[in-house]
């Protein structure tokens, strides 16, 4: 069993999708190990997305993720990162397969409902960053 970090972004929280999203992970076989509804401050958001700080959309990304509450989770399961990312779907919702979270709920790439760790290293880093 391994762990991953998943966060329902402000658009998903605002639209009342937290319960549905958590249920999708539980139905897939994940165990919810830790969770919290929180609001990221700018400093934490900049640290979370520091690997994207040279991208032209970095400022907009930080503005968005700090615009409202998020639901942060630690999930445990077999091949947690790969399985979670498969369930989440492609970053761009127009490319996300129906049946994935983004394929079913996301509207555009800037408001794509959910974040999921993309590697073991990032999962550990993000879990430590959000659940100290």
Q: Is 130 a catalytic residue?
A: no
Question: Cα(64)–Cα(45) distance, rounded to whole angstroms?
Answer: 10
Of residues 48, 51, 115, 130, which has the active-site annotation? Answer: 115
Residue 92 placed within a domain: yes
**This prediction's pTM:** 0.95
Q: Which domain holds residue 80?
A: 2-39+71-130
Q: Where are the beta strands (DSSP E) in the chain?
A: 2-8, 31-38, 70-77, 114-116
**pLDDT tens-digit map of 33-58:** 999 999 999 999 999 999 999 999 99
Whether 51 is in a domain gets the answer no
Burial class (CB in 10 A: 0-12, 13-18, 19+), 94: exposed
Q: Say which CATH number the domain at 122 has.
A: 3.30.70.141
What's the pLDDT tens digit per position in 69-91? 999 999 999 999 999 999 999 99
**Which secondary-structure segment (H or E) carries 81?**
helix 80-88
Which tokens go with 85?
A: 């990312």
């Amino acid at each position: 069993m391994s762990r991953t970090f998943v966060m329902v972004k402000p658009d998903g929280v605002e639209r009342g999708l937290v319960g549905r999203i958590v249920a999708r992970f539980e139905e897939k076989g994940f165990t919810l190990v830790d969770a919290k509804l929180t609001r990221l401050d700018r400093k934490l958001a900049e640290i979370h997305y520091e690997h994207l700080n040279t991208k032209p959309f970095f400022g907009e990304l930080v503005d968005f993720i700090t615009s409202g509450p998020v639901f942060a989770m630690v999930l445990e399961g077999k091949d947690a990162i790969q399985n979670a990312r498969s369930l989440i779907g492609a970053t761009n919702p127009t490319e996300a397969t129906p049946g994935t979270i983004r394929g079913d709920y996301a509207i555009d790439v800037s408001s794509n409902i959910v974040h999921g760790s993309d590697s073991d290293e990032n999962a550990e880093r993000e879990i430590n960053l959000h659940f100290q």
